[in-house]
């Protein structure tokens, strides 16, 4: 299964980024082989709409699930519309997050866990 994890860096040893829309980058992982690639987040400094833009960018990679720390309502709705399962409150390294996912230790989110504009510098 192909999944996306928000990340603060470009390796599997990087920490899961607690922000979805303004994550540093997304690591796309094929869970069977652990092959992975990095998608830079073009929306990290967007004035608005970062969650929706990030969700569209992730959806374009063909992932079936997203693992992140937090996700707001606009991004959550966009991911849901694309048929992507969202997992929030994920912490640790990207590799740890993938292992938890593969072992069935994560629960799918039933909605956003933060309000719009979470993670914006004020």
Half-sphere exposure in the Cβ direction for 111 (13 Å, CA): 4
Task: Please give the distance of CA 86 from its chain centroid, rounded to a whole number.
Answer: 8
Other C-beta atoms lying within 10 Å of the C-beta of residue 14: 19
Average pLDDT, the chain: 93
22-71 confidence digits (pLDDT tens): 999 999 999 999 999 999 999 998 888 999 999 999 999 999 999 999 99
67-77 confidence digits (pLDDT tens): 999 999 999 99
- pLDDT at residue 119, as a whole number: 52
Domain 2-102 -> CATH class:
alpha beta
| Domain spans in the chain, listed from the N-terminal domain onward | 2-102
Q: How far apart are CA 12 and CA 34, in angstroms?
A: 9
């Amino acid at each position: 299964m192909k999944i996306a994890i928000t990340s603060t860096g470009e390796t599997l040893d990087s920490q899961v980024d607690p922000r979805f829309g303004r994550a540093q980058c997304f690591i796309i992982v094929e869970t069977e082989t652990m092959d992975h690639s990095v998608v830079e987040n073009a929306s990290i400094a967007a004035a608005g709409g970062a969650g929706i833009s990030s969700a569209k960018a992730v959806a374009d990679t063909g992932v079936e699930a997203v693992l992140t720390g937090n996700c707001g309502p606009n991004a959550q709705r966009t991911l849901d519309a694309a048929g992507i399962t969202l997992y929030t409150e994920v912490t640790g390294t990207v590799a740890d997050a993938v292992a938890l996912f593969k072992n069935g230790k994560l629960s799918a989110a039933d909605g956003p866990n933060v309000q719009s504009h979470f993670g914006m510098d004020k």
